[in-house]
Structure 1
Amino acid sequence: MKLHPLFLCLALASTGAAAFDLNEPENNDTSNLVWTGHLSPDTDTVTSAIIAAYIYGGTPVVPEAINPESQFVLEYCKATTPAQMADFSQKMVGLVDFNQKTQLQKSIKESSIVAIVDHHAIGGNPVNMKQVATIDIRPWGSAATILADRAEQMDIELPEYIACTTLGGILSDTLVLQSPITTEYDRHYAEELASEAGIDDIEAFGQKMLEAKSDLSHVSAADILTMDYKNFKFAGKKVGIGVAETLTAHQLLDRRDEFVAAMKAYKQRQGLDHLFFSVTDTKNKRANLLWIDSADSKVAEVAFKAKPTNGWLVLEGVTSRKRQIGPAIQKAVESLN
């Protein structure tokens, strides 16, 4: 079965150069190409870089250290961890799983970007490219799903370990296909990739991933805050949103004072206008949102029309930063400025 998706695929062309070809990889010079995702890399970012490099050539890399869930997936799938790259200045770069300048590793020159494969909205501060670039953005649950579709459409057979890691990317971003961002394409390719990877029980694999992500007892509040963290620019304001997805939310909720201290220090150090942190309870499908001052409190009140209880704002049925938390905060910030 081949799916024929509706998606946004833009080729931005300039005189005298050819766009990176996402359909005919043999047309591309990939000798100096790396594929990378956003800062604070998550499992979708890491695994999307791996499959993109396999399909198109080049090398998968990460801009920062990977998190425990991603490490579990790579070990489970018997895949090599992409190297952490500090200096991208001499590289051609393909971006996966993001398009925002605020999430770009500082040494990446926008003039070096040749392609973007992403599933996020083009928000307030996207990368600004004057050169030829090819962009594939679709409203699916993960960038890994988009790349799995590209592999299928080009009749590229994935090795077992890449089918496995790509499945991990899909399950991570869709909370094992339970998040509101999950689409029919995510479910379809999850089934296909599981078959190719020899994984009989998707739910069991996903549960192991959630367990790996949940064990944060040995991690400092400051590190948890930025482990799955993104910067945004809304209405000219610098906004940070961190998320910790866990099956054992109570362990983190009991550490509220630690998170408040870490957030105060981080907000001041980064010069943020607003900072929010969610302990997302994946077992009970709810977000527990935290902020630290009156400016952020006003945004949260407008965004969610609710008041905190015991220091946390409990949002039932909210699990997605991409689809639920981020858009609500963006709308509130824009309405207040």
Structure 2
Amino acid sequence: MSKILIIGHLNPDTDSITSAISLSYLQNKLGKNTEAVALGKPNEETQYALNYFKTEAPRVISRASDETKEVMLVDHNEFQQAVSDISELTVLAVIDHHRIANFQTINPLYYRAEPVGCTQTIILKLYKEHGIEIPPHIAGLMLSGIISDTLLFKSPTCTDEDIKAAQELATIAGVDLNDYGMELLKAGTNLSGKSAVELISLDAKSFEVNDKKIRVAQVNTVDFNDIFSRKEEIINAINEEISSNHYNLFLFVATNVLDSDSRIIALGDSYLSAERAFNIHLTENEGFLKGVVSRKKQIIPQLTVALSEETVSQ
């Protein structure tokens, strides 16, 4: 039996990596031969969770077709966020909580997408549906994904299902939900050792709107000054990315996990789309987004509308 690789998205976050691990454990219990792999190294937050629950990080790959023809995708579906040779692979399943875009397959597949705050909330349902017991360390990793994606339930993407799932998983994992949650989020805000290039790449996703290439990068912090004291360095790194990859808009988002607000830097020939998207005025390419924490719900949809209206007006 050939091995099936279970893969999260590029620049993986905590949900992406831990979902690959938890789904792989489930699939193996169901008789399949799977391995969780990643399209990048864990960030500090993810590594904190892996260390806490004594789990080895998945090995990092850049291609999959050299070792398998079958994959399962977690926490993403858009091909620009997937493994580089995704078009050469058979996608057996997708477990996701994002919009569906730029995705098609030749063969039928299992597709599970639900409007919840985290992929792990869906995977918990799969464990229950198949009657598979969740070990404490897997429960802890699943909990970590929910805490990360919902910012400990502060994100507007968070649902009652996510909260109930987190409470259940915390009990199995044997941790205090709020205490562990705050420590996990704080671990992800330690950016002092990161270069500007690393900062704008840690958690970045690309998408297209009417042939315009958009890049949205997001980092978490407990003090905006830790990031914006390096604004010139960050802008230079972003402009290098725009030049190399021909992005029309690069939006860098710093989110304060304590106050649930964000500050942005918008660059590229379509940078003014950020003003229309968020109804703000940019000063030296910088703006403040009150109450905005979710890229999925409060940033990308608004940018999509603004960029679409911009194209129509032209």
Is residue 149 from structure 1 mapped to residue 125 from structure 2 by the alignment?
yes
Q: Please point out which of 89, 106, 114 is paired with 2:84.
A: 106
Is residue 197 from structure 1 mapped to residue 168 from structure 2 by the alignment?
no
What is the correspondence of 1:75-86 to structure 2 with a 5 Å cutoff?
75-86=51-62
1:36 is matched with 7
CA contact (8 A) 1:53 1:60 kept: yes
Instruction: Provide the C-alpha distance between the structure 1 equivalents of 2:118 and 2:88, rounded to a whole number of angstroms.
Output: 23
CA contact (8 A) 2:71 2:89 kept: no
| C-alpha distance 318-110 of structure 1, shift in aligned 2 (>3 A) | farther
Instruction: Provide the C-alpha distance between the structure 1 equivalents of 2:211 and 2:195, rounded to a whole number of angstroms.
Output: 31
Cα deviation digits, residues 303-329 of structure 1 (max 9, x gap)? 111112465210100000000011111
Residue identity in the other structure for 1:169: G
Secondary structure of the equivalent of 1:307?
A: coil
Q: How much has 1:210 moved relative to structure 2?
A: 1.3
2:31 is matched with none
Residue identity in the other structure for 2:228: L
1:71 is matched with 47
Is residue 255 from structure 1 mapped to residue 251 from structure 2 by the alignment?
no
| C-alpha distance 253-103 of structure 1, shift in aligned 2 (>3 A) | same
CA contact (8 A) 1:65 1:84 kept: yes
2:18 is matched with 47
Secondary structure of the equivalent of 1:79?
A: coil
CA contact (8 A) 1:102 1:233 kept: no
2:210 is matched with 235
Q: Please point out which of 243, 250, 259 is paired with 1:284.
A: 259
Q: How much has 1:113 moved relative to structure 2?
A: 1.1
Instruction: Provide the C-alpha distance between the structure 1 equivalents of 2:118 and 2:272, rounded to a whole number of angstroms.
Output: 31
Question: Higher mean Cα deviation, 307-316 or 237-246?
Answer: 307-316
Is residue 136 from structure 1 mapped to residue 112 from structure 2 by the alignment?
yes
Q: How much has 1:134 moved relative to structure 2?
A: 1.2
CA contact (8 A) 2:7 2:37 kept: yes
- Misfit runs of 4+, over 3 Å: none
CA contact (8 A) 1:111 1:130 kept: no
1:267 is matched with 242
| C-alpha distance 171-110 of structure 1, shift in aligned 2 (>3 A) | farther
Q: How much has 1:108 moved relative to structure 2?
A: 2.7
1:173 is matched with 149
Cα deviation digits, residues 121-142 of structure 1 (max 9, x gap)? 113xx22211121110000000
Cα deviation digits, residues 222-281 of structure 1 (max 9, x gap)? 111010000101122111000011122220021111110010001111121211110111
Residue identity in the other structure for 1:208: E
Q: Please point out which of 28, 46, 56 is paired with 2:27.
A: 56
1:322 is matched with 296
Is residue 226 from structure 1 mapped to residue 204 from structure 2 by the alignment?
no
Instruction: Provide the C-alpha distance between the structure 1 equivalents of 2:88 and 2:291, rounded to a whole number of angstroms.
Output: 37
Q: How much has 1:86 moved relative to structure 2?
A: 2.6
Gap runs ≥5 in structure 1:
1-28
1:313 is matched with 287
